[in-house]
């Protein structure tokens, strides 16, 4: 039995080689996961190409097995001409419309969270200042937020490393945009790997920005799953307990060579051990 407040999820692109969503959710349920996070590109390049029937099937299949659809991520993989900080207002409008489509897809399959990483599609272009990019991003996100509110979906902005993007590559910058937008359906996701280059330890960052935190990605600096590298998750989980975090920790990896069974099994076994250690020692 997992912790009732902090649930464990896993991202479905890990199982892309199976090409079988039902098999995937049955497998992760059997080894103890609570939820699944879906990359839309695993079903179609463009989210609007995923039919109403397929959306219902995804939701019903997960529900029948007893796995919660957490939400979606890798949201700008597939479509062309989406760009968060583009100076062309027509491209931003198209991007905002596509984001609305993503919100509706997320809600249709039963999800509550959209993880927004998309480093390439948010990079600040030449001759665009950081403040201009901030306003462009604010414009695009704000356009979709009424739909988020109506459909009970939260967009979570992800801080990514300076190797990946030049926009919101610190948590401070991500929070600056969150505060500027100032909407309850626009929050923060933290990612273990992405925090590797920050000056403060991960547990300090979690406590510092806990009031904004809505989602968490578990992985390692080596791009594998939690427990498969050098990152100690005990301080991380203890910090999540300390801030009263009640969301998901989703396993997200970027190297798939070990195979989905090994990645998924080793990751959840490690996280369960860390949960037990962290909960028993959090008040010491």
pLDDT at residue 1 in the model: 45
- C-beta separation of 162 from 188 below 8 A: no
What is the average per-residue pLDDT within 39-56? 97
Beta strands in 52-193 (DSSP E): 68-72, 113-116, 154-158, 186-191
Partnered with residue 116 across adjacent β-strands are 157
Query: Topology of domain 7-281, per CATH?
Result: TIM Barrel (3.20.20)
% the chain with pLDDT above 70: 97
Q: What is the pLDDT of residues 190-208, one digit of tens each?
A: 999 999 989 899 999 999 9
Name the residue ranges covered by the structural domains of the chain: 7-281
What is the average per-residue pLDDT within 122-138? 97
Confidence of residue 2 (pLDDT cuts 50, 70, 90): low
Q: What is the pLDDT of residues 107-121, one digit of tens each?
A: 999 999 999 999 999
pLDDT at residue 279 in the model: 73
| Prediction pTM value | 0.95
72 contact partners, CB below 8 Å, separation of at least 6 = 37, 38, 39, 40, 102, 105, 106, 109, 111, 113, 114, 115
pLDDT for residue 125 is more than 80: yes
- Name the 3-class secondary structure at 50: coil
The chain-wide mean pLDDT, for the chain, equals: 95
pLDDT for residue 3 is more than 90: no
Closest CA relative to residue 13, chosen from 281, 178, 235, 251: 251
Tokens 């403040």 locate to: 131
- C-beta separation of 66 from 30 below 8 A: no
**What's the CA gap between 253 and 144, in Å, rounded?**
28
Q: Print burial letters for 92-125: b (CB count within 10 Å at least 16), e (below 16).
A: bebbbebbbbbbbbbbbbbbbbbbbbbbebbbbe
Q: What is the pLDDT of residues 224-266, one digit of tens each?
A: 999 999 999 999 999 999 999 999 999 999 999 999 999 999 9
- Name the 3-class secondary structure at 248: strand
**What's the CA gap between 17 and 37, in Å, rounded?**
16
């Amino acid at each position: 039995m997992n912790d009732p407040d902090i649930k464990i999820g896993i991202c479905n692109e890990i199982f892309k080689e199976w090409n079988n969503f039902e098999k995937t959710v049955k497998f992760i349920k059997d080894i103890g996961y609570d939820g699944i996070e879906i990359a839309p590109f695993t079903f179609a390049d463009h989210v609007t190409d995923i039919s109403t029937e397929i959306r219902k099937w995804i939701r019903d299949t997960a529900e029948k097995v007893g796995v919660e659809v957490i939400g979606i991520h890798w949201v700008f993989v597939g479509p062309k001409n989406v760009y968060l900080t583009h100076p062309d207002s027509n491209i931003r409008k198209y991007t905002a419309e596509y984001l609305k489509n993503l919100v509706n897809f997320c809600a249709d399959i039963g999800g509550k969270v959209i993880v927004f990483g998309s480093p390439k599609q948010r990079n600040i272009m030449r001759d665009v200042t950081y403040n201009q990019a901030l306003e462009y991003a604010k414009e695009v996100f704000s356009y979709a937020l009424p739909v988020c509110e109506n459909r009970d979906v939260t967009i979570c902005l992800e801080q990514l490393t300076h190797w990946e993007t030049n926009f919101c590559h610190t948590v401070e910058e991500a929070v600056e945009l969150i505060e500027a937008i100032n909407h309850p359906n626009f929050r923060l996701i933290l990612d273990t790997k992405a925090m590797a280059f920050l000056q403060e330890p991960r547990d300090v960052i979690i406590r510092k920005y806990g009031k904004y935190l809505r989602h968490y990605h578990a992985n390692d600096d080596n791009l594998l799953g939690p427990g498969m590298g050098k990152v100690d998750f005990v301080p991380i989980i203890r910090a999540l307990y300390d801030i009263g975090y009640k969301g998901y920790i989703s396993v997200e990896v970027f190297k798939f060579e070990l195979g989905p069974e090994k990645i998924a099994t080793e990751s959840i076994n490690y996280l369960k051990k860390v949960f037990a250690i962290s909960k028993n020692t959090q008040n010491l």
